[in-house]
Amino acid sequence: MKVLLIDDEEDIRKVALLSLEAVGKFQARCAASAAEGLAAAKDERPDVILLDMMMPLVDGLTALTQFRQTPQLATVPVIIMSARIQAGEQEHWIQKGAAGVIRKPFDPMTLPNEVRRIVEGTRS
């Protein structure tokens, strides 16, 4: 599975990349901004996108909307990652076009399984 992680925090990118590649055996790529992530997604069309909500310049909601409005990316599952997700907000993000939500801080040992579970849920 090809995963694109978009997060402005370098430490988060490093830990998630290690988790996704070493634990999950995914092919993973990182982007530090929404613009960089959109360009990377257009180039490589990942199987899933992990998207941070709180980024400078273009926030996660705006980026999610851009992914949904880009024809070649409209059906790629986008998983929201945020420390600020409140109880009950997951349904809100799903209505906005997200495949699911992963809370930060995430457990590096279980992150790949959470990604798989969400992606498999979008296929059923």
What is residue 77's predicted lDDT score, i.e. its pLDDT?
97
State the sign of the Cα–Cα–Cα–Cα dihedral 53, 121, 2, 112. positive
Cβ proximity of 30 and 18 under 8 Å = no
Tens digits of per-residue pLDDT, 17-39?
A: 999 999 999 999 999 999 999 99
Banded pLDDT at 113 (limits 50, 70, 90): very high
Q: Where are the chain's structural domains?
A: 2-123
d(CA 19, CA 109): 7
The answer to whether residue 123 scores a pLDDT higher than 70 is no
Confidence (pTM): 0.94
User: What CATH fold (topology level) applies to the domain 2-123?
Assistant: Rossmann fold (3.40.50)
Cβ proximity of 80 and 60 under 8 Å = yes
Q: What is the mean pLDDT of residues 45-57?
A: 94
What is residue 83's predicted lDDT score, i.e. its pLDDT?
86
